[in-house]
Copies of this chain bind each other. A is one copy, B any other.
Amino acid sequence: MPKPDGRRVPLNRDRVLEAGIALADAEGIAAVSMRRLGQALGVKGMALYNHVDNKQDLLDGMLDRIAEEIELPEGSRDWREGTRRRAVSAYTAFLRHPWSASLWTASITLGPARMRYLDTALRGLREAGFPPDLLDRAFHTIENHITGHALQALDFPLAPGEMRQIGEDYLRTFPAGRYPDVAAHIRHHLHHRGSGGGFEFGLDLILDGLERMRTAA
């Protein structure tokens, strides 16, 4: 990225992370190698080590930027409403960046945005009166539902039209006699595409159950 006078505007961490996200969004996380990302920034891959510690640090940094996109409702009087909005916001953030959900579950060290995410989520439950044990289980059940469903949704990374064609081709050779219920399941997905709402269905199921247990406790 040469400036008018011909010299380069020097790289910085922010630009590296942004370019990493853009590259991962466009070509998948597998395309994000140090060399390839360097190339996208007009620089050799080794130059990136001036701005990130190593590749894991790069991925952690990218992921924390995704965490910044998640809405964190605070001070809502209804824990259910606040938790629901946060969960939907996290889910849609994962869908916007299809590579992010699997990194999210795999990462060990958390950046500041993810810490803030965790802290507000836990505080919301605590302030709603969940006792420690129930709080812990409630929290994990909710988080698992978010990441689990995001991963599932991303297993079919196909455009709606594309999806239908491939699905029908697939069904033609599918051993429907041996796996009749799987065949029916595929047909159901082909014909009810876009009905969506599977995520919110399960989420409400969980939140309703938790609310019942909260008032009982």
Q: How far is the CB of A159 from chain B (nearest CB, A)?
A: 16
Q: Per a CB cutoff under 8 Å, which of B116, B122, B206 touches A205? A: B206
Residue A5 CB within 8 A of the other chain: no
Residue A168 CB within 8 A of the other chain: no
Residue A82 CB within 8 A of the other chain: no
Q: Per a CB cutoff under 8 Å, which of B132, B137, B185, B195 touches A198? A: B137
Please give the count of copies of this chain that the complex contains: 2
Residue A58 CB within 8 A of the other chain: no
Taking residues whose C-beta sits less than 8 angstroms from the other chain, chain A's interface range is 35 or more
Contacting residues of chain A (85-112) with chain B, CB-CB under 8 angstroms: 102, 105-106, 108
Residues B141 and A151 in contact, CB atoms below 8 Å apart: no
Q: How far is the CB of A107 from chain B (nearest CB, A)?
A: 8
Q: Per a CB cutoff under 8 Å, which of B102, B132, B144, B188 touches A102? A: B102
Chain A residues proximal to chain B, CB less than 8 Å: 102, 105-106, 108, 115-116, 118-120, 122-123, 126, 132-133, 136-137, 139-141, 143-149, 151-152, 155, 178-182, 184-185, 188-189, 192, 195, 197-198, 201-202, 205-206, 208-210, 213
